[in-house]
Amino acid sequence: MILDYKNSNIHYTVYGQGSCIVLLHGFLETVEMWDQLIPDLSKSHQVICIDLLGHGKTDCLGYVHTMEQMADAVLAVLESLNVENAHFIGHSMGGYVALALADKHPKLFKGLCLMNSTFEADDETRKELRTRACKMAQQNFEVLVNLSFSNLFTPESKAKFNIAYKKALQIALQISLQGYMAAQEGMKLRPNCFELFKNLPCKKLIIIGKKDTLINKDQLILDIKETDIDFIVFSEGHMSYIENTKELTYKLLLFIEN
């Protein structure tokens, strides 16, 4: 389905009926990342998947897509569908977008799962890495995406899930240079959302990959120790929807239905 938003297209899909689940993909991903989870999630729920700005079949709105701008686009879809509240699951960048939406519209949230994601802002080292990546992307985009994507998997995991890895990589390579750079610039600007997440009046869950090199796992667990935020640690890395599909589906259903 397509929503006309600010003279641009936002692409989204809707499956099933019942209480609503909103799935927000990560950087260099699209609604397709949820294909293995949708059959189980949509048996008794309405599942909405949205291509974020500059990804999949959703247009770019500029050369910087802040998490707040992405959240506004998500809200436009939900309002068009008359969604009053939902469980939100955000993978990586999708978690940042969900937090930006929660900041403005906390009553929308029955639950929020940060899946291989974090409430922390980029530190200066990560910001510099994003700046360098944007410069490299202008010179050889395909090589950069291949390298970046490869780093999300351990060699063992890449071999074990090779078919899914190759499919996800091909999807990543379809993003435009503008979409790539706009998302990177937007992620650099996001604030620390720990207090926001901690005080959000709904169920909260963080899914952590034991081998995830993008997330400061020990610090994350330490930060949430005295809060009502739950966490789960899976055996693999950043791409739990590929590497821990069955466990992820089971845990998400428990989170949503309990």
pLDDT at residue number 92: 98
Strands 2-5, 19-24: pairing is unpaired
The pair of three-digit structure tokens given for residue 133, joined into one six-digit string: 């990546």
CA angle 41, 43, 47 (to 5 degrees): 50
Give the pLDDT score at 116. 98
pLDDT at 20: 98
- pLDDT at 105 (0 to 100): 98
Contact 66, 189 (CB under 8 A): yes
Radius of gyration of the chain from its Cα atoms, rounded to whole angstroms: 17
pLDDT score at 177: 97
Q: How far from each other are the two terminal CA atoms of the chain, in whole angstroms? A: 30
Q: CB of 118 within 8 A of CB of 216?
A: yes
For residue 44, what are the domain limits?
2-257
DSSP class per residue in the chain: -EEEETTEEEEEEEE--SEEEEEE--TT--GGGGTTTHHHHTTSEEEEEEPPTTSTTPPP-SS---HHHHHHHHHHHHHHTT---EEEEEETHHHHHHHHHHHH-GGGEEEEEEES--SPPP-HHHHHHHHHHHHHHHH-HHHHHHHHHHTTS-HHHHHHTHHHHHHHHHHHHTS-HHHHHHHHHHHHTPPP-HHHHHH-SSEEEEEEETT-SSS-HHHHHHHTTTSS-EEEEESS-S-HHHHSHHHHHHHHHHHHH-
* Total count of domains within the chain: 1
CA 106 to chain centre: 18
pLDDT of residue 137: 95
pLDDT less than 50: residues of the chain: none
Q: pLDDT value at position 173?
A: 96
Q: Which residues contact 212 (CB under 8 A, 6 or more apart)?
A: 116, 237, 238
Q: What is the CATH number of the domain that holds 103?
A: 3.40.50.1820
- Position 115 scores a pLDDT of 98
Residues whose CB is less than 8 angstroms from the CB of residue 48 and which lie 6 or more positions away in sequence, other chains included:
12, 13, 14, 20, 21, 22, 23, 77, 78, 81, 83, 86
User: What pLDDT, on the 0 to 100 scale, is given for residue 123?
Assistant: 96
Distance, in Å, from the CA atom of 243 to the CA atom of 251, rounded to the nearest integer, reads: 14
Spatial distance between the Cα atoms of 130 and 87, rounded to a whole number of angstroms: 30
